[in-house]
Amino acid sequence: MFSRQLYLDEYTSKHFNSLRKKFRNHNFPSGTYVIVLSKNSGRVEYFDCKSFKQKYYKETEDYPLIIGMAQNADSAKNIVVQIIEECVDKTGNADVKIYLKEKTDKLQKSYFKRYDITVMEQKGEE
């Protein structure tokens, strides 16, 4: 369910352990947004995690790979923008799926690190 490479806002980074437990118990907190890689296209998407309460997920448990979490929709949108900007800066293209796979492959070599968490700064409106 969770990628080893996670992008969180300040709120979700402070509450990550409790949020992770809730997710594992299928108790998805309404208002918390997840950032996922689309299964087919590899696009980055975000939505309220209460969507996981739908019948499809209850029956199949076929959840998308969660690459981030945010306290609200605005924060999730900012994180998505920052992920794509980071990907373009590092690779020259916006293929987030390949970029995150490469980052995760490097992380796999570290036996002591379960997650690589990046806390994203919120961009203020000016």
Kindly state whether residue 46 falls inside one of the protein's structural domains: yes
State yes or no: pLDDT of 86 exceeds 80: yes
So what's the pLDDT on residue 126?
45
pTM for the structure as a whole: 0.81
Kindly state whether residue 42 falls inside one of the protein's structural domains: yes
Kindly state whether residue 57 falls inside one of the protein's structural domains: yes
* DSSP category for residue 123: P
**Which residue range forms the structural domain that includes residue 43?**
2-111
CA-closest candidate to residue 79, choices 52, 49, 45, 50: 45
Domain count, the chain: 1
Kindly state whether residue 119 falls inside one of the protein's structural domains: no
List all residues 6 or more positions away from 92 whose beta carbon is below 8 Å from its beta carbon.
none
So what's the pLDDT on residue 42?
76
Kindly state whether residue 120 falls inside one of the protein's structural domains: no
Instruction: Give the model confidence (pLDDT) of 95-107 as tens digits.
Output: 998 898 888 777 6
Kindly state whether residue 116 falls inside one of the protein's structural domains: no
Least confident of 49-53, 89-93, 110-114: 110-114
Kindly state whether residue 121 falls inside one of the protein's structural domains: no
State yes or no: pLDDT of 85 exceeds 50: yes
Kindly state whether residue 126 falls inside one of the protein's structural domains: no
**pLDDT grade, residue 114 (50/70/90)?**
low
Instruction: Give the model confidence (pLDDT) of 31-63 as tens digits.
Output: 999 999 987 777 899 999 999 999 998 888 888
